[in-house]
Every structure is written in structure tokens, then in C-alpha cells.
Amino acid sequence: MGKALDGVRILDFTHVQSGPTCTQLLAWFGADVIKVERAGAGDITREQLRDIPDVDSLYFTMLNHNKRSVTIDTKNPEGKQVLEALIHQCDVLVENFAPGALDRMGFTWERIQELNPRMIVASVKGFGPGPYEDCKVYENVAQCAGGAASTTGFDDGPPVVTGAQIGDSGTGLHLALGIVTALYQRTQTGRGQRVLAAMQDGVLNLCRVKLRDQQRLERTGEMKEYPQYPNGQFGEAVPRAGNASGGGQPGWILKCKGWETDPNAYIYFITQAPVWTKICNVIGKEEWATDPDYATPAARLPRLKEIFAEIERWTMTKSKFEAMQILNKYDIPCGPILSMKEIAEEPSLRKTGTIVEVDHPKRGKYLTVGNPIKLSDSPTEVKRSPLLGEHTDEVMAELGYSPEQISALRTAGAI
């Protein structure tokens, strides 16, 4: 079966996490992704957080599936010529260098357009235009500058970053959408364009409900679904909401059987209004269904602490999976706190290709996260990440270089 992006060639100048996430997705959708790396070193993540000496790290392998790797020294004049040949041949150049690095290499937007007016140039940067546009940025900087950290954690503690890589992988996703949109527009205009996804913007986009809450707070002075209500204090900015549910249906994380020894024996429990009577029956508080102090969502808001404490008395008598099974019977929304170990071993995730086992010539078998976006006419096959420069000769031959020319360029240190 063909793939959605068959025929699209990506010149992949990305490194670390944000850019590679984007190009990996495009590769999974069928694009030919040619990753350009520096000979001898390559993407810095190849050697970061290694678990096996001298073998590409899981950090690298899990972000660079289905790509080809070529080594080119883009600061070498002959290397630049190879890169120019690639720019002629490719549809999209994706990069996440520090601001200005591509220009310093001599590949300004104007120069790229001269070489290939159809080329789309897509960039991840830490910040958009403004006071911080020249800054280098990593994941947690973006989480802090995009509003996530100030709104994550508990009221009496410091800001907290989340394990979900919303700054890097989140921005990579945003960039991928920008690229396919630009490719679509190109079918009408025939022209390339620049696509920018700034990490601060990506994180803020994912935190948009907190900007909603900022304006609610400014208008009303309180937010009744936050744990600060009714006894705590609201300040000028959206506070950290602990584990409170982001929407209009109050929720909290509750202990389950075994919590004393298992750090993940917890369940997320949502007191959704339409199933309130069922919740009361399950936890043995039938009288709450009709008691005016508990019967309506508005009456419950100032009593959420007490209500969750009562529900927890019930959840603590069940394992998180037993609780989930019982609650699901009554359509009560809830979710077990799954550890990475449990996720890695979950058969249903293996079946859907969300967790995939991949074989690598140097490291052997390892697990990765497959394509979370499933297309019925463009199934994803996860292929191992390339070794450094594994496809240099192959790609150079496709560009029309003879074996002698390739060997001369290698001797000159250009590839």
C-alpha cells in the first residue's frame, strides 16, 4: 500500500528532540527523510544518555526511525555544494538550529529560494520574534516560558515541569502540521514558504485553558473548581491547581489498595455530574444523591475535599484496575495511574502499534513509541534509526555523484 507522503523529500537538518520528532512523523507518513549530520559526531543525542557503550542511545533511536542518514560538513565549500544539490532535489528543509545558524552557514531564506523556489523551510525556534528571539532553548525553558510550569504543581510548592515533552515533541507536532499545510498550499501556488513553530507558542497553545482561567480570575476573583476555593487564597495570576480537573467536571487523584508501597497505586476519579447518583451508590453514600448539600454540582464545589476523601475511602479498598472495572460499568470516568513499566507491557498498545519492538543491528531489540496518528490508507511501519552516515553513498549516487567523486569528497572532509 502507498503512503500519504510518498514522493515528498525532506532535507532533515534537525537535532536533539523537537525537530526530529517532526521529521520522524513525516517519515512515518511516507516522506523520504534525509538526515544531514556532521561526520564523526552526528546528532548530539547519538551519544547522550547511552545505556550501551558506543551504541546509538535510545534517545536518538527513538526519535529518528524511518530516516536515512548522510554526513555532510556544511561549512566546507564542497560540502556546501552537496547541500545545494540536495536543496534542488528536496521539497522541505526542516531545521531546529539555534537562531541564525542556517544563515551563518550561508543558507538564508533568499539563497534557498534562489536555489529552489518551491522549497518549504520549516524551523523550530525557542521564541518567536521579540526580546528572546536569539535565545537557545531546551524543553524545560519552553515549559516555563509558555505558562505550563507556573500552572503545574501544588499551591504550596514551587512551579513544576511535566514529563510530557510538550516543548520539544509538542512543538515538533505543531511544525509537522505547518509543513503539510504548506505542502498543500504549494499545490495551488507552486511556491514554497517559511514555517515557524516557536516552542513558547507551542506550549502556550497547549496551555490555552490556563489563559482562559486568567481572564476568568481577573473578572470574578475566584475559580470554584480550583482547590484554592473556598478556603484558600487567589492572587493575581492563575495558581497551580494540583490534580484538579481542567474542565467543568471536578476530578482528583485518589489512593488505591497498595498505595503504601506502590507509588503508582492511584486512580484519577472524575465526579461527572450526570453519573453522580451512581457514584453515591458505588461508594455507599446513597443519601448524597438527594441531600441538597451534595445533590447538585454547585452545592458540591465547596465540599470537594470532603467528597474526594470519602470516595478515596472506597478506592483504597480496591486495586486501581478493580476500581476502574467497577466504575466503568457505571460509566463513571476514571483512569488508572499507569507506570511506564505497565505501559511498556500493555498488550493492547503493542497490538495497535503504539508501542513497537524494533531490532537494531548494534543494540538489538528495544521498545519505542510508534505513530500515535493512525491513517487507514497509510499504515505506519516503524523501521530502525540509521547509523551515522549509513546512506551517504546511496544518497550521493542518487544526486548523480560517481563513486570516484564520492571518494574524493570524503578525502576532502566534505562528507
Nearer to ligand COA, 358 or 414 (CB): 414
Nearer to ligand COA, 18 or 23 (CB): 18
Nearer to ligand COA, 126 or 251 (CB): 126
With the CA atoms of 382, 386, 387 and 389 taken in that order, what torsion angle do they form, in degrees rounded to the nearest 10?
180
Determine if 196 is a binding residue for ligand COA (CB under 6 A). no
Residue whose Cβ sits closest to ligand COA? 98
Nearest approach, Cβ of 212 to ligand COA (angstroms)? 27
Determine if 96 is a binding residue for ligand COA (CB under 6 A). yes
Nearer to ligand COA, 124 or 270 (CB): 124
Task: Identify which range of 134-142, 149-157, 243-251, 315-323 contacts ligand COA by CB under 6 A.
Answer: 134-142
Nearest approach, Cβ of 183 to ligand COA (angstroms)? 21
Binding-site string for ligand COA from residue 111 to residue 130, where x marks contact by CB under 6 A and - marks none: -------------xxx----
Euclidean distance between the first and the last CA atom of the chain, given in angstroms as a whole number: 34
Determine if 234 is a binding residue for ligand COA (CB under 6 A). no
Nearer to ligand COA, 36 or 265 (CB): 36
How many residues bind ligand COA, per CB under 6 A?
24
Question: Of 290-329, which residues contact ligand COA (CB under 6 A)?
Answer: none
Nearest approach, Cβ of 172 to ligand COA (angstroms)? 8
Nearer to ligand COA, 39 or 119 (CB): 39
Determine if 69 is a binding residue for ligand COA (CB under 6 A). no
Determine if 406 is a binding residue for ligand COA (CB under 6 A). no
Nearest approach, Cβ of 136 to ligand COA (angstroms)? 4
Nearest approach, Cβ of 137 to ligand COA (angstroms)? 5
Nearer to ligand COA, 40 or 248 (CB): 40
Binding-site string for ligand COA from residue 241 to residue 280, where x marks contact by CB under 6 A and - marks none: ----------------------------------------
Question: Of 12-41, which residues contact ligand COA (CB under 6 A)?
Answer: 16-19, 36-38
Largest CA distance in the chain: 87
Nearest approach, Cβ of 385 to ligand COA (angstroms)? 16
Determine if 138 is a binding residue for ligand COA (CB under 6 A). yes
**Hey, which residues are catalytic here?**
168
For the chain, the three-class secondary structure string (H helix, E strand, C coil) is CCCCCCCCEEEEECCCCHHHHHHHHHHHCCCEEEEEECCCCCCHHHHCCCCCCCCCCHHHHCCCCCEEEEECCCCCHHHHHHHHHHHHHCCEEEECCCCCHHHHCCCCHHHHHHHCCCCEEEEEECCCCCCCCCCCCCHHHHHHHCCCHHHCCCCCCCCCCCCCCCCCHHHHHHHHHHHHHHHHHHHHHCCCCEEEEEHHHHHHHHCHHHHHHHHHHHHHCCCCCCCCCCCCCCCCCCCCCCCCCCCCCCEEEEECCCCCCCCCCEEEEECCHHHHHHHHHHHCCHHHHCCCCCCCHHHHHHHHHHHHHHHHHHHCCCCHHHHHHHHHHCCCCEEECCCHHHHHHCHHHHHCCCEEEEEECCCEEEEEECCCCCCCCCCCCCCCCCCCCCCHHHHHHHCCCCHHHHHHHHHCCCC
Determine if 168 is a binding residue for ligand COA (CB under 6 A). yes
Which residue in the set 29, 59, 60, 97 belongs to the binding site for ligand COA (CB under 6 A)? Answer: 97
* Buried residues in 18-48 as b, exposed as e (16+ CB within 10 A): bbbbbbbbbbbbbbbbbbbbbbeebbebbee
Contact positions toward ligand COA, by CB under 6 A? Answer: 16-19, 36-38, 72-75, 96-98, 101, 104-105, 124-126, 136-138, 168
